[in-house]
Structure 1
């Protein structure tokens, strides 16, 4: 296989035009530091029948990018053996390859190459390990010959090959002391020892503990296998070198996972993400951050401000609203809602299409955000996951790495010059004087907010690498606006209503009660005794409550019902006014009413009803005479009782007179 390829072969290999390949070769010849696809091409000129003036150019295969070299080997059916060398050997080979570039630029055996070799020989240089040395002429010739024949791989020092039969079972000293044991027994002891080392690492033992306990465990296994001697005698032969002990260190991550999941999670493998192609405000990250600056409260106590941060993923712009919490309190959902509404009303920001928020308790208001985003008429189906709200995984700071990185830069580079900056470690706070507490910011909280806004403007105008490719967030935003990007506006009052919930209340005396507070409005006078719908805030505190009918028709906005002192004349004036309002409400209700005699209407309605039919009797139920008499006496009226008693007396008189007549006739 030829170590050089032509311009046409380079074009075909890289899938570019021949003109582009020739341009890359031309630039490489003009500037030795020029890199094509992150590689410095080694070019030589040869005499040929084609080309300009009978001269054509070839590129060294070993100077091509690794992917093109692999593609060349694949196309020609040749596979290059992998480079089996240590990282130190590879670094040394890379150093020599760069050092020999002036020599390799010329064909082998040419006068130009001989001149370049003499120029490098005897020249004092800093070697691959950082030590100064002077390569001899023979050294340069030998290295140049290897690089010409085999490239970088030929320059790398090959690792020493060790024959399997010469490798120790565990350690050479232990092998020498256990020759009486069979090879299979020794291999089993070595296997158990390696496993015990992993067990010790996996359960949190340190290096010294692992080395000692594993050595003692090896001594016990050796004695149990039948080797004669005492534990004290065999222990020195069981001392384990660093290489054997360190071989099981990977198991320590198991212990870290069990006892320190945060550190383990920070070190686990992550995927690479990019914001390329996003429009401004298409995806906005939100988070709460504690800034390490001492600021004085009004009562003189020290506090660190909290920042409600919003980051535009497309432009990397950051907007932060500061909050100075009272002792024992934290950032509330109400603070976040106010900050979010302020974000949407900022003429440089507007309404975001998607939000990426933390899972903290202060973000419970986010359950209302989908409805809030719908207020702006945003269709989120075209975005990733089809959701306007994305929640970060709990305890996963890397999920918001784009925002956490901005916080780190703001803390370490932007806020560090401020007086009162204490750093991230409270136990090692930065102090101006030994033995004294840190000095706070030289001003009140309002002055700190003013200075912070200025420093944040500096951050947003500072150039960044990564997706911005050397532009500042402000430049990226300006480019997007110049290309036609437009913000999305939303009514702040309608947005505020999105963070409320509907409920019902019964109107009592023209008032309603909401969370222990009494609210009143004149329009409620007509709805006393009825149920109405209200909108009450979930997290904010409103001094007004919108009220509507059960069908959704707006009635009015109720305000807190003021309580007047008994001697306050304003109370009498308000009572008189409300009486007039109630009377006006009655007049309004009575304006279209016609007087009706409801009694006569009811009597007439009853008279229209047909008489009920009289059923035939199935017979009378007889009751004992004494029981019937008792029932009649219970139910008789006083007049009936008098008539009954008079009739009873007259009956007795008639009976006595009849009895006298009978006696007189018999005589």
Structure 2
């Protein structure tokens, strides 16, 4: 705005003309432009002189509770020096409210609960302020929403587990069949049985972690039937007998009862492993992130099964996928036709390069071919011996603590304590320099790039357990600091009192009505006489009571 003007000499008509032109172009007063030029020239050309001046209280807290509350506190004659302590109390109440079930209803309910407790505390201290003054802004409430994780931890363990810090494992160095992950997936496709009824097929899958291949075994069960151990055994036998798969060295299984049968082949797995190696690993219950096959299932849904006819979508109760109010149309062919099409699509899919992760750039088929060229060969097993191993026998007498930047994960030993909170990050201008993080109560620190562990490396599990233990301890300490709010603690102060019971309306005095006397006849006259007699008797009793009280008073006075 002032570039053209400062190039003209000071006090000349050229500068005056440039200032006038700049004022018209940028719609700024000429006096303002002259002031900018003077400030720049007095500073010797330092453009920092044109910056806005910071207020004297920059970086200082201006409101302790809220502007309305602080102003009302001073107007009512209370000591302003007490406001910082009251502000800390409000912060603590907000944290307690976020850690309560109120967080499920959103920030407004959290504020409502915190203000209710705040009014109660003020009343116990004898402090009376206008209701309009007891206000907390939404921004103030949202500052403490990270404590909602405490209520999630106590009431939604699955959601809490998904937010825990996780390590990454690089499985590209594994040999084929070194670790095989198995699970059962209900397919969201409708297929007809031989008798014409419809069913949802089940996919018993084995994922080779070293190549990302998936061995598939389909089962179309009878009505009301679930996947049993014999179905899993048939799938495992089919995989072992396949020329490109063979016998695995380690099984990573789900916790379903149908997979408990693999305990019977521990001795067979130990024959092809080093002494003391773990041959069967149980996945963590209710933790999809700990099973790499779960993400493979989601990929197959998108690229394979959703492309086939009979697909009903992920929500089976939603009948609007294909038609409104009617069930989706089943697969037009037989179950064998469905399996043949699914297999053809999966074979084609496994020839596509993997897009993300450590396996990115090559397809599962390419990874398998490369490791086959390096000398790997599948382990064969006698089918009858495997059959005997699964047979029954008896005798007559077993997420996330990291920061993602530019496609890389970064960690810090103290970062797990702040899981779910926002932290400040600084990106240095030097190349290959580690990002910086501003940790609360610790200050700035350098982040370390997350290095993946091998699937069998025990140090990875130790580090993951340590980080998860730190998160649990931090959450426990925070829960001890934030006393739980009783379910009914905030209900009674919010109940609007109803008006008192109204007194009964007076009876109509029919005796005052001449028309009523004529209508009722002698009955009203008898009622009037009885009323008068009762009144006279009551007057006599009152006189006797008064005489008795006077006598007692004189006797008491001596």
Quickly name the TM-score band, shorter chain normalised.
Answer: 0.5 to 0.7
Q: CA deviation at 1:428?
A: 2.8
Q: How does 1:596-607 map to 2 (within 5 A)?
A: none
Q: CA deviation at 1:254?
A: 1.3
Q: CA deviation at 1:429?
A: 4.8
CA distance, structure 2, for counterparts of residue 161 and residue 269 of structure 1: 42
Q: How does 1:83-102 map to 2 (within 5 A)?
A: none
Aligned position for 1:310: 206
Aligned position for 1:204: 101
Pick from 140, 164, 174: which aligns with 1:244?
140
Aligned position for 1:481: 372
Aligned position for 1:80: none
| Contact kept? 2:182, 2:254, Cα under 8 Å | yes
Q: CA deviation at 1:182?
A: 2.5
CA distance, structure 1, for counterparts of residue 318 and residue 175 of structure 2: 42
Distance 1:220 1:493, change over 3 A: same
Distance 1:488 1:218, change over 3 A: same
Aligned position for 2:289: 398
CA distance, structure 2, for counterparts of residue 158 and residue 280 of structure 1: 66
Q: Which runs of 5+ in 1 are unaligned?
A: 1-141, 143-148, 150-156, 506-667
Pick from 332, 355, 359: which aligns with 1:442?
332
Aligned position for 2:362: 471
| Contact kept? 1:431, 1:439, Cα under 8 Å | no
Aligned position for 1:524: none
Q: Helix, strand or coil for the counterpart of 2:306?
A: coil
Q: Does residue 424 of structure 1 match 2:314?
A: yes
Q: Structure 1 stretch 417-426 or stretch 183-192: which is displaced more? A: 183-192
User: What is the alpha-carbon root mean square deviation over aligned residues?
Assistant: 2.8
Deviations 1:472-516 (A, max 9, x none): 0001111111222111111110111111244468xxxxxxxxxxx
| Contact kept? 1:275, 1:313, Cα under 8 Å | yes
Aligned position for 1:498: 389
Distance 1:259 1:228, change over 3 A: closer
Q: Does residue 453 of structure 1 match 2:348?
A: no
Distance 1:449 1:495, change over 3 A: same
| Contact kept? 1:308, 1:322, Cα under 8 Å | yes
| Contact kept? 2:313, 2:321, Cα under 8 Å | no
Aligned position for 1:414: 304
Distance 1:160 1:421, change over 3 A: farther
Aligned position for 2:524: none
Q: Helix, strand or coil for the counterpart of 2:182?
A: strand
Q: How does 1:186-585 map to 2 (within 5 A)?
A: 186-205=83-102, 206-229=106-129, 234-374=130-270, 377-381=271-275, 386-400=277-291, 402-429=292-319, 431-464=321-354, 465-503=356-394
Q: CA deviation at 1:420?
A: 1.4
Give TM-score scaled by structure 1 length. 0.48
Deviations 1:507-554 (A, max 9, x none): xxxxxxxxxxxxxxxxxxxxxxxxxxxxxxxxxxxxxxxxxxxxxxxx
CA distance, structure 1, for counterparts of residue 198 and residue 85 of structure 2: 64
Q: CA deviation at 1:349?
A: 0.6
Q: Which runs of 5+ in 2 are unaligned?
A: 1-39, 41-46, 397-558
Q: Helix, strand or coil for the counterpart of 1:308?
A: strand
Q: Helix, strand or coil for the counterpart of 1:423?
A: coil
Q: Helix, strand or coil for the counterpart of 1:319?
A: strand
CA distance, structure 2, for counterparts of residue 159 and residue 342 of structure 1: 75
Pick from 159, 169, 189: which aligns with 2:64?
169
Q: Helix, strand or coil for the counterpart of 2:226?
A: coil
CA distance, structure 2, for counterparts of residue 275 and residue 160 of structure 1: 56
Distance 1:356 1:162, change over 3 A: farther
**Higher relative contact order structure (alpha carbons within 8 Å, sequence separation ≥ 6):** 2
| Contact kept? 2:64, 2:86, Cα under 8 Å | no
Q: Helix, strand or coil for the counterpart of 2:212?
A: coil
Q: CA deviation at 1:162?
A: 5.0
Give TM-score scaled by structure 2 length. 0.58
| Contact kept? 2:68, 2:132, Cα under 8 Å | no
